[in-house]
Structure 1
């Protein structure tokens, strides 16, 4: 998953000569960064590697990012501390998984039913004020919040079919901290494991399933073969993930490399928009590994009502959390009033 120094200098030089560009900077002048993602190797190929490769090519020898996958340098739960200390330079993750000590951590990953579609994430951040809140909160702890984007929805994929809320009781499920906190009221037993151990845990019976992804990741990670039942009712329409960097390392970069990082990461968010959107539909229709099940409308209505109550519980924890919840509430109210296609009944 890493771009080696030898490979980069070789391909970079050839590409630059062919394009008539200036020769790459001398190796000793190349700025080196290490970025670790939350994603395992198979998933990282889709959700981050193209952006890193594009950046390294366009940077033309001035800077090179080495990419590391889930738990490769440090455990995912230690990503924030490692980045803050400068052990690694940058991170791709949600706030929740990397144990961020900020007021906004609870909203990262899957905040239950705050989002219906992937476009809700960039809309909330870029047009409804969340971007400025995240930037300010992370600046307080020495971290540059570069950008936020959406990933897949959060559905259950299980070893046994889920046809009612009662079927979730006692099930050991790999999920995110906040999602686990929410789902525990329905009898789910949240389990935290390293990403690479999930498939084996499903095979050995340590896990009964996952509430970690949509169907695209189920197939990409190979989980579709060991947990072959997919519940179409999600608890969030999109995952909120981010790119972060150590603030000192960010500030030390020249402005054009900061802009290049921003641009490549924004392109990465866009790429995931269509990769997931296409995959979620196509694999439901054409996928051969998984059987689809759905909850009765009354059962799903209980989850929706519980989400609204959960929002209020979170809002009561601090003024800043209340501010974020209020933005989410107003945004969703606007979408409902706007009608189709923003919200369906």
Structure 2
């Protein structure tokens, strides 16, 4: 297939592009290479596949409708995976405008391009952050998500609403994937796994918020990519069991779906840190601090719907995942 993927210099986008190329798809990548974190890491990710004969790369911002339309004209994609976005919960407290430009303006540009390009299926990144103030665990797609606690979460919930509108009005099949704490090789430097690895590798104290009582549904990058591909290969369809009097937030009478994409195995943050310490062969001081604004205590993905519809089953244990992550970290940073 011809597949347009945005965010191919990013953590998930780069891993997805490699998997798609390996199975024979033609991939057109779009990324704006912004400086939210070190662009050198983005270039290093891209270097692994940018010269592949079935890959084309365009530096462009989703908020630039003309540039995005050029990508669609050049690629004529059959299917699209939209992973490009302004990420990060805490950064949304500092620079809310960046989230409006990328996650709202950029996303409506994507929807318009897909609509006019007669795209067979749009898969897009949502986030576990949409569950916000919810406390019922595990989080299920059938749960209401009307109480976000950060602008980042609100922008991702808005994406789901915008996608449903286009599915309803124009019959555009859309599937939103709520990612749960993705970690692994080539990960984002602003996320806790990389921040912890940086400090433990240097023997420095680490800040542990919520006094160490957090738990997260850490999901290894290979399991995330597997879930994205399985979803991409199953375009959303109207739910024949949809009841407008008792609506299910995860489906619709339009070709629309929302799924959790997680490991379904929450891990205490202190356990995750312990595994990092074991793999680095070093223990460090933990500074226990209060909860940060915009954060949530626990996440846990109910992946029943995704398992039922596309056969998704995460299979990387936290022990194996952390071992592989630290092995990559040591190699990338030349610590051995």
- Under a length normalisation based on structure 2, what TM-score does the superposition of the two structures give? 0.35
Rg (Cα) greater in structure: 1
- Under a length normalisation based on structure 1, what TM-score does the superposition of the two structures give? 0.34
Higher RCO, 1 vs 2 (CA within 8 Å, ≥6 residues apart): 1
Q: Pick the structure with more helix per residue.
A: 1
